[in-house]
């Protein structure tokens, strides 16, 4: 954030410049809607973690950002340009590392750099040489003789050598061993901090994102589940144990076709801004009914219900300020790790085997 002096002498805080904004993005492959109404905002200088399960729509969204595919609907704002598809001029200002690296195998690292330099007016040969040294890449070694981890490092060197204002990484650590993965993440973080470079980092590995990201966007089934800083998210989510059934609404016999707490959860998870209604939460256990009613009254959303099988808890999402004042009676309230929150937000029905 940037502080600025207002006309009355007070100091105000302004948000950093928006480098990337996606509005209502929709991409389909035939009848499959891979990205469905996606919205996100990335600001200057931040590391943005784009987190989602495999198949959530991360790569499709990135391919649309890069102009590789044209979305059916929506708008992309990148480095001041707005449109449905990014132009070549904007691509020249992006550093991009894809999931898979496809290089000419007969070229050496140095020769590949000379070849790629022709596509970027701002290419810096000295910076590329420095990056090769930093990443322990032998300049004269052919690409065909590089390991998988070294190829990813080479892709990063190529992406950074023209000094782009934004770096876009599409699950670059997939397939790397733990030591190489950690080294790669440390390099990304140092580059972002030392050069104030905006970094958009896609991954399905929660620990990676948690280690380096300033803000996160959690995507599921092509739509955004959450966007914001990690600390606020962790303060907004709790797991709540339920009390045993007591006298009250929901203890009477209810027909088998009546809606359950699970139905309420399923209806609410598509839009976290819509609270669960008590009417949908009626079930044979008062603890469920009372809890969902209380959560709805307080503006909380039940993301994952733990009553299937022998479960006795629910994961809820709400205003972090409210947790200090609403302990949900005598129920036990627990904080969750980012990984637990991610699983709750992207939970799918598990078949009975």
- Domain containing 124 equals 12-232
Task: Map 177-222 to HEC letters.
Answer: CHHHHHHHHHHHHHHHHHHCCEEEEEECCHHHHHHHCCEEEEEECC
Query: What is the pLDDT, as a whole number, of residue 334?
Result: 79
Q: Which of 72, 61, 60, 79 is nearest to 20 (CA)?
A: 79
Query: What is the pLDDT, as a whole number, of residue 263?
Result: 42
- Provide long-range contacts, Cβ within 8 A and 24+ apart, for 22-25: 22/61, 22/65, 22/74, 22/75, 22/76, 22/77, 23/74, 23/75, 23/76, 23/77, 24/73, 24/74, 24/75, 25/61, 25/64, 25/71, 25/73, 25/74, 25/75, 25/76
Consecutive 10-residue averages of pLDDT for the chain (353 residues): 54 74 90 89 93 90 89 88 78 88 91 94 94 92 91 92 93 82 86 88 88 91 90 85 51 38 42 42 48 70 60 74 62 81 73 37
Shared domain for 49 and 173, answered yes or no, is: yes
Shared domain for 206 and 244, answered yes or no, is: no
Query: What is the pLDDT, as a whole number, of residue 306?
Result: 61
Query: What is the pLDDT, as a whole number, of residue 46?
Result: 93
Query: What is the pLDDT, as a whole number, of residue 154?
Result: 93
Query: What is the pLDDT, as a whole number, of residue 195?
Result: 84
Domain boundary among 208, 232, 256: 232
**Is the distance from CB of 251 to CB of 284 less than 8 angstroms?**
yes
Supply the pTM of this predicted model.
Answer: 0.78
Strands annotated E in 15-130: 18-29, 32-43, 47-52, 73-78, 81-83, 94-97
Tokens of 138: 């032998």
Shared domain for 182 and 77, answered yes or no, is: yes
Shared domain for 69 and 163, answered yes or no, is: yes
d(CA 116, CA 162): 10
Strand pairing category for 215-220 and 47-52: parallel
The total of structural domains in the chain comes to 2
Shared domain for 22 and 68, answered yes or no, is: yes
Query: What is the pLDDT, as a whole number, of residue 194?
Result: 84
**Is the distance from CB of 52 to CB of 204 less than 8 angstroms?**
yes
Neighbouring residues of 183: CB distance < 8 A, sequence distance ≥ 6:
none
Shared domain for 21 and 160, answered yes or no, is: yes
Domain for residue 206, yes or no? yes
Domain boundary among 175, 197, 232: 232
List pLDDT tens digits, range 11-59. Answer: 555 677 889 999 999 998 888 888 989 999 999 999 999 999 888 899 9
Query: What is the pLDDT, as a whole number, of residue 156?
Result: 92
d(CA 196, CA 200): 13
Query: What is the pLDDT, as a whole number, of residue 255?
Result: 38
Q: Which of 152, 37, 33, 23 is nearest to 97 (CA)?
A: 152
Phi-psi group of 250: left, alpha or beta (phi > 0 → left; psi -120 to 50 → alpha; rest → beta):
left
């Amino acid at each position: 954030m940037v502080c600025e002096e207002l006309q009355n002498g007070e100091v105000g805080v302004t948000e950093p410049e928006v480098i990337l904004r996606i509005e209502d993005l929709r991409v389909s492959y035939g009848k499959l809607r891979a990205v469905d109404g996606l919205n996100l905002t990335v600001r200057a200088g931040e590391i943005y973690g784009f987190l989602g399960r495999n198949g959530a729509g991360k790569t499709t969204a990135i391919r649309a950002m890069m102009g590789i595919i044209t979305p059916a609907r929506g708008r992309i704002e990148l480095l001041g340009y707005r449109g449905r598809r990014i132009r070549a001029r904007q691509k020249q200002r992006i550093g991009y590392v894809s999931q898979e690296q496809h290089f000419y195998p007969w070229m050496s690292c140095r020769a590949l750099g000379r070849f790629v330099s022709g596509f970027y007016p701002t290419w810096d040969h000295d910076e590329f040489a420095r990056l090769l040294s930093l990443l322990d890449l032998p300049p004269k070694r052919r690409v065909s003789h590089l390991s998988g981890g070294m190829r990813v490092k080479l892709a990063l060197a190529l992406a950074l050598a023209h000094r782009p204002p934004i770096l876009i990484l599409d699950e670059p650590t997939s397939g790397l061993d733990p030591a190489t993965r950690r080294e790669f993440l440390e390099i990304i973080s140092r580059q972002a901090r030392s050069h104030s470079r905006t970094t958009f980092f896609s991954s399905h590995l929660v620990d990676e994102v948690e280690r380096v990201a300033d803000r996160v966007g959690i995507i599921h089934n092509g739509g955004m589940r959450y966007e914001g800083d990690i600390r606020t998210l962790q303060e907004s989510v709790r797991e709540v144990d339920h009390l045993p059934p007591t006298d009250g609404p929901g203890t009477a016999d209810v027909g088998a076709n009546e809606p359950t707490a699970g139905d309420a959860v399923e209806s609410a998870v598509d839009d976290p801004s819509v609270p669960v209604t008590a009417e949908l939460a009626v079930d044979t256990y008062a603890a469920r009914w009372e809890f969902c009613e209380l959560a709805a009254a307080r503006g909380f959303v039940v993301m994952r219900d733990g009553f299937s099988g022998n479960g006795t808890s629910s994961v809820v999402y709400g205003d972090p300020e409210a947790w200090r004042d609403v302990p949900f009676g005598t129920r036990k309230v627990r904080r969750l790790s980012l990984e637990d929150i991610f699983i709750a937000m992207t939970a799918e029905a598990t078949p009975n085997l």
